[in-house]
């Protein structure tokens, strides 16, 4: 996996169906512990609600999926929330839908529809972004060529993370895996072969 989609920020939405109130919150998370912490926080914030149903998806390949009906009939709450996350192709995201019962039974179909609608509304409020895998590299060159090389890197759309003017100029950049060879060629051309490129860790960058 070299990219995946996640929520851009936390999102909150509320709908009402037959006097039952559904408050949905979508949040970005990176681990199962973070997701469960969000669920417990919302449970503490709304102790008077009857149900706090949830689902989350984690990992670039969406390998971890969990859902919880929290007392609603099986498959009527957690599953439609999870299906909504799948439909949006989102990961590293948790959605919690808190329900206050309004006195009218909605039936299994009505419940599933309401929980799905509430989750969709929260995800729409949160927005989304694409997270792309990058390789970090340090380009080292003598001072006389440093300023021009930094300009050339930026002009070619290469993300410059920071520049350190020490004994030599060290320019730390982030490039997509498919652009690694292009970076090496650019540095070689711009420095007449005098610049060096040292590749380091892989990181995820929001686009």
Spell out the domains of the chain, with CATH numbers in brackets: 3-126 (3.30.230.30), 130-206 (3.30.70.240)
pLDDT tens digits for range 133-175: 999 999 999 988 888 899 999 998 899 999 998 888 999 999 9
3-state secondary structure of 79: helix
- Output DSSP code: residue 91: -
Model pLDDT, residue 118: 98
Q: How far apart are CA 152 and CA 194, in angstroms?
A: 15
Q: Tell me whether residue 144 is exposed, middle or buried, using C-beta atoms within 10 angstroms of its C-beta: 0 to 12, 13 to 18, 19 or more.
A: exposed
- Residue partners of 94: CB distance under 8 A and separation at least 6: 26, 27, 29, 34, 35, 38, 39, 54, 55, 56
pLDDT band at 190 (very low <50, low <70, confident <90, very high): confident
Nearest to 81 by CA among 45, 121, 46, 47: 121
């Amino acid at each position: 996996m070299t990219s995946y989609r996640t929520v851009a920020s936390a999102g909150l939405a509320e709908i009402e169906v037959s006097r039952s109130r559904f408050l949905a919150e979508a949040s970005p998370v990176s681990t199962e512990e973070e997701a469960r912490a969000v669920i417990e926080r919302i449970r503490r914030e709304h102790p008077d609600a009857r149900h706090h149903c949830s689902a989350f998806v984690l990992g670039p390949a969406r390998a971890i999926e969990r859902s919880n009906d929290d007392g609603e009939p099986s498959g009527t709450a957690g599953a439609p929330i999870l299906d909504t996350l799948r439909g949006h192709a989102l990961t590293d995201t948790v959605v919690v839908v808190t329900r206050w019962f309004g006195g009218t039974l909605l039936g299994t179909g009505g419940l599933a529809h309401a929980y799905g609608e509430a989750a969709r509304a929260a995800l729409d409020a949160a927005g989304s972004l694409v997270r792309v895998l990058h390789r970090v590299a340090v380009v080292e060159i003598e001072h006389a060529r440093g300023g021009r090389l930094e300009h050339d890197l930026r002009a070619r759309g290469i993300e410059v993370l920071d520049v350190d003017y020490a004994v030599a100029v060290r320019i730390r950049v982030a490039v997509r895996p498919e652009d690694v060879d292009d970076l090496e060629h650019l540095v070689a051309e711009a420095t007449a072969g005098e610049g060096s490129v040292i590749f380091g860790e892989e990181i995820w960058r929001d686009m």
